[in-house]
């Protein structure tokens, strides 16, 4: 059986491959279907965008599809950037632009608590999509540290560690991250779906 991973983010795809046990599934991604237009992520929540990505790609390919929508939720910013994490500093912005904005917005603030949250939607042809989620709590530090990962990783230090996600080895991020937790939950749901329970 084939499973499509509905992402065009190569770093995210790498993490999903490292974390998820595909149990003999033939896995492909949105990169394998270049003719399918990008899904417009205009939902108000991570859940809405994950479902939209999974359902649109499932409808376009006719194949079971897994979509991940993730965001950074910062306490002192009332949960921002959240669902707007990708384009927080404007259309066409870079990870560097977003990290610079995060440092500016938190300048002088003592509450640096934040969490990464991932919602995963699974869509099977002709069935209602299912969602699961995972989160990891931590703090936003005041300078960029590390080269690994992507996005806000150089500013996010998970609780219990004194290195950022961009400094920790990929194996560690992939064990404790929001994405790892959501994918573990997705794996259980997937097993149930395949067993028809
Ligand atoms: P797809 O929609 O094609 O999957 P994307 O990069 O737009 O790729 P998301 O909408 O899920 O992915 O993520 C929004 C932003 O959140 C992303 O651009 C990053 O800045 C940030 N982000 C997501 N996961 C992250 C992670 O594990 N570490 C750091 N930043 C992350």
Indicate if the alpha-carbon torsion angle 6, 12, 18, 19 is positive or negative.
negative
pLDDT surpasses 70 at 94: yes
> For a pLDDT cut of 70, what percent of the chain falls above it?
98
Give the DSSP H or E segment for 194: helix 178-195
134 in helix, strand or coil? Answer: strand
Q: Distance from the CA of 197 to the center of ligand 1, in angstroms?
A: 32
CATH number of residue 183's parent domain: 3.90.950.10
Q: Residue count of the chain, please give it.
A: 197
Measured CA to CA, the distance from residue 116 to residue 125 in angstroms comes to 30
Measured CA to CA, the distance from residue 34 to residue 186 in angstroms comes to 26
Q: What is the dihedral of CA 84, 86, 92, 98, to 10 degrees?
A: 90
Q: Write out the residue range of the structural domain in which residue 70 sits.
A: 2-195
pLDDT on residue 195 = 61
> ∠ CA(169), CA(23), CA(60), 5° rounding?
95
Q: Binning pLDDT at 50, 70 and 90, where does residue 196 land?
A: low
Give, using CA atoms, the residue closest to atom 15 of ligand 1: 86
Structure tokens at 1: 């059986």
Probe residue for ligand 1, chosen from 11, 12, 50, 115 as the CB with the greatest number of ligand atoms within 8 Å: 12
Counted domains in the chain: 1
DSSP symbols for 55-110: HHHHHHHSS-EEEEEEEEEEGGGTT-BGGGSTTTT-TT--HHHHHHHHHHHHTT-S
How confident is the model over 129-170, as pLDDT tens digits?
999 999 999 999 999 999 999 999 999 999 999 999 999 999
pLDDT surpasses 80 at 44: yes
How confident is the model over 173-185, as pLDDT tens digits?
999 999 999 999 9
- Residues catalogued as catalytic: 69
- Average pLDDT for 57-79: 97
């Amino acid at each position: 059986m084939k499973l499509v991973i509905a992402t065009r983010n190569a770093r995210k795809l790498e993490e999903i491959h490292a974390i998820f046990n595909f149990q003999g599934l033939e896995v492909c991604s949105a990169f394998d279907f270049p003719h399918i237009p990008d899904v417009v992520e205009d939902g108000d929540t991570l859940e809405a965008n994950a479902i939209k990505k999974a359902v649109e790609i499932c409808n376009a390919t006719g194949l079971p599809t897994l979509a991940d929508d993730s965001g950074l939720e910062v306490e002192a910013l009332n949960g921002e950037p959240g669902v707007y994490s990708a384009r927080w500093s404007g259309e066409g912005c870079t990870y560097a632009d977003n990290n610079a904005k995060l440092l500016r917005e938190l300048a002088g603030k003592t509450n640096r608590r934040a969490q990464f949250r991932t919602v995963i939607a699974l869509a099977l042809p002709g069935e209602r999509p299912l969602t699961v989620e995972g989160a990891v709590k931590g703090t936003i530090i005041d300078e960029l540290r590390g080269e690994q990962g992507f996005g806000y990783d150089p500013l996010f230090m998970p609780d219990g560690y004194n290195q950022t996600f961009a400094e920790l080895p990929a194996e560690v991020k992939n064990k404790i991250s929001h994405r790892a937790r959501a994918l573990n939950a997705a794996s259980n749901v997937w097993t149930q779906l395949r067993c028809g329970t």
